[in-house]
């Protein structure tokens, strides 16, 4: 059955909710075409930014974005510390003393909510709150461990195992949380992506009823957006690329696959599925054709666009309901290096 050509991913939306690292910038510099595309989007929809990075305040993030040429206010930034403090407030009494593992992003939000900040387990904190900051080291993790052995609540901003930086991929907050987890034998309550709390904050702040979430990570941006009932688009400028997109389980399968943010405004290509009498499925996107028979996925025609080839392969695999580890996938698909 041939599907009608779809509208552009941004068409009909009332808000665009963007991840930052790997979507808008990588390190200090903007990702190609991101700034121009976001400025254009802002002419028709409310643009908000959702970040799991807990090391900076919303104003610091906004200042960085303004340096890149974007018209941004602090109120346009939804941070994982904001969501974490919201969760924390349900676990401890107002004005409690909280041990912080992290940077200014957490401290500012805690103090704004009336909590008292400490860095020492000797101050008998009522809870521990943990988020990423470049300076976090063994001493900070040890203080969290000392405090958590008393059984107090533990809230973490996010589970990101890695973060993209100018020099490559580095350990993220999830890695640091894991170190504490191994020391104390329990896990924290998480507030940032992929949990719904951060998306709830964004929906309320921007009055969004039909937003589009755009991110570079399936396990945070796409999973979180889907959990929150929002449309999602994976952009291939950050952490996850073709191999990860093809392997996405149903909870992380995006509505749209785009190479860069310019494609938010372009009609999304039709996806044609044809299933023969033997149950083999042929999927066509543009000039790219992929066939899946049983557990075998093969390229029939590569077409002229690696992105359309990836879309066709993903559509075939997603429709099968099978997981990637049980499939024989054409090596050309797994090695696709889709570039913007």
Q: Copy the structure tokens of residue 212.
A: 């589009």
pLDDT at 279: 93
Is the confidence at residue 339, as pLDDT, over 70? no
Sign of CA dihedral 64, 69, 72, 77: negative
Report pLDDT for 5: 57
Instruction: From the candidates 19, 58, 219, 221, give the one annotated as an active-site residue.
Output: 19
19 labelled catalytic: yes
Distance of CA 144 to the CA centre of its chain: 26
pLDDT (0 to 100) of residue 250? 97
Count how many residues are written for the chain: 340
Question: Residue 28: what pLDDT?
Answer: 87
Query: Angle of helix 104-112 relative to helix 80-88, nearest 10 degrees?
Result: 40
- Model confidence band, residue 1 (pLDDT cutoffs 50, 70, 90): very low
Rg of the chain in Å (alpha carbons): 21
Q: Which two tokens stand for residue 163?
A: 């973060």
Average pLDDT taken over every residue of the chain? 94
| Rounded CA separation 66/60 (Å) | 10
Output 28 or 48, whichever has higher pLDDT: 48
Tell whether the model's pLDDT for residue 2 goes beyond 70.
no
Q: Three-state SS for 197? A: helix
pLDDT tens-digit readout, 176-231? 999 999 999 999 999 999 999 999 999 999 999 999 999 999 999 999 999 999 99
Confidence tier at 236 by pLDDT (50, 70, 90): very high
pLDDT digits (tens, 9 = 90+) for 19-29: 999 999 988 89
Give one DSSP letter per residue of 79-140, joined into a string. EHHHHHHHHHTTTS-TT-EEEEES-HHHHHHHHHTTPEEES-GGG--SEEEE---TT--HHH
Active site residue 21: yes
**pLDDT tens sequence across 116-168:** 999 999 999 999 999 999 999 999 999 999 999 999 999 999 988 888 777 88
Mean pLDDT check: name the lowest of 195-199, 235-239, 333-337: 333-337
pLDDT value at position 160? 85
Percent of the chain with pLDDT over 90: 89
Task: Give me the domains of the chain, ranges plus CATH numbers.
Answer: 15-52+195-264 (3.40.50.1000), 81-190 (3.40.50.1000), 272-334 (no CATH)
pLDDT at residue 48, as a whole number: 98
| % of the chain with per-residue pLDDT over 70 | 98
Average pLDDT score over residue span 284-293: 97
pLDDT for 3 equals 47
Q: Is the pLDDT of residue 252 over 70?
A: yes
Bridge partners (DSSP) of residue 98 are 117, 127
């Amino acid at each position: 059955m041939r599907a009608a050509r779809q509208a552009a991913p941004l068409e009909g939306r009332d808000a665009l909710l963007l991840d930052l690292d790997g979507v808008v910038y990588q390190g200090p510099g903007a990702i190609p075409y991101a700034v121009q595309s976001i400025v254009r989007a802002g002419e028709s929809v409310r643009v908000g930014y959702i970040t799991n990075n807990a090391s900076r305040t919303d104003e610091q993030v906004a200042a960085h974005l303004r340096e890149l040429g974007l018209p941004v206010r602090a109120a346009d930034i939804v941070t994982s510390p904001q969501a974490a403090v919201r969760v924390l407030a349900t676990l401890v009494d107002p004005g409690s003393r909280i041990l912080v593992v992290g940077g200014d992003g957490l401290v500012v939000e805690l103090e704004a909510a009336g909590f008292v900040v400490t860095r020492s387990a000797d101050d008998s904190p009522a809870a521990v709150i943990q988020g990423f900051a470049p300076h976090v080291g063994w001493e900070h993790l040890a203080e969290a461990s000392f405090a958590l052995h008393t059984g107090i609540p533990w809230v973490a901003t996010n589970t990101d195992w890695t973060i993209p930086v100018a020099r490559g991929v580095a350990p993220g907050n999830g890695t640091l949380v894991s170190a504490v987890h191994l020391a104390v034998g329990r896990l924290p309550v998480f507030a940032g992506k992929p949990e719904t709390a951060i998306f709830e904050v964004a929906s309320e702040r921007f009055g969004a009823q039909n937003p589009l979430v755009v991110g570079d990570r399936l396990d945070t941006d796409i999973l979180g957006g889907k959990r929150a009932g929002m449309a999602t688009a994976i952009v291939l400028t950050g952490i996850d690329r073709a191999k990860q997109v093809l392997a996405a389980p149903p909870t992380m399968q995006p509505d749209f696959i785009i190479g860069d943010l310019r494609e938010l405004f372009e009609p999304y290509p039709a996806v044609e599925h044809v299933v023969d009498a033997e149950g083999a499925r042929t999927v066509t996107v543009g000039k790219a054709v992929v066939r899946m028979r049983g557990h075998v996925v093969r390229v029939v025609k590569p077409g002229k666009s690696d992105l359309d080839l990836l879309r066709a392969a993903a559509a075939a695999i997603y429709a099968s309901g099978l997981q990637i580890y049980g499939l024989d996938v054409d090596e050309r698909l797994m090695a696709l290096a889709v570039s913007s």
